[in-house]
Structure 1
Amino acid sequence: MNSNSKGAGLPELFDALIRLVENKPERVKKGSKISLRIVALEAGKDPSIIRKDREIYAHLIEDIERYAAIQKEKSAKKNGQVAELKARIAKLRIESERFEDLWKAALARELFLIEQLDEYEQRWKKQTNVVDFVPSGSPLSH
């Protein structure tokens, strides 16, 4: 086909569209939004050729618009899922912080009780009528 004839490069444009749909472009950035301009650039063509001869490229334009809408819908769905996951992460982070606070409070309570127990043990040892049940050389004594 002559490159100057109307509809020249149509197969390349359809191939470019397919590569974009499959997210395997060769000339443009991966994840590019599907549009007339991007398809033309991916095919190595001037975007104005599609706009000039809309009748010749009508099926291509319809396909581009359809796949652009599908891509937009997928993107919106993905963005919704990302937002949902971010909200869930934030909720879990708050819950994690709450559990960490509870854990720290429990540790503080345990340390306080150990300190109090040690204080009482020291008092009891000062009393003459209190006898230690564990012999002083035993591995259980501390």
Structure 2
Amino acid sequence: MEVATMTTPDTQEEIEQTLGQVPSWMEHIAAPAGDHSWGLFRDLTLGETELSPREKGLIGVGVAAAISCPYCTHFHREEARLADVTESELEETVSLASLTRYFSTTLHGNEIDMDEFVAETADIVDHLKEQEAAAAGAD
């Protein structure tokens, strides 16, 4: 039984060279999006960007945990481990993701005014900067 590929032969060869195989799940991406989907994954996940592999792994773990995706969680935990992220750093990342989701639920559920939230956040950031500057001056 021949499986229809989601990519052109050149892209399929590139995926095999890069990952050692074409993951079976990639064959379920609609053909018109195949090459493009690989390009996004390759360039953002594996490519050299403004973020380090370590940062990408931690972000991936946090997002995967927040959206409750076991596939993404597994992949990004392994990605982070390849970048020497420790288990305690992974735990902290998941805790931060859960905190963000918790407060997002609170803000949305209570229909907090966005303009007021933005203004309060600006005041808080200014205060934190002042505290940081004062602490630096005390050294």
Note whether the superposition's TM-score is higher than 0.5: no
* Higher normalized helix content (fraction of residues): 2
Which structure's CA Rg is the greater one?
A: 1
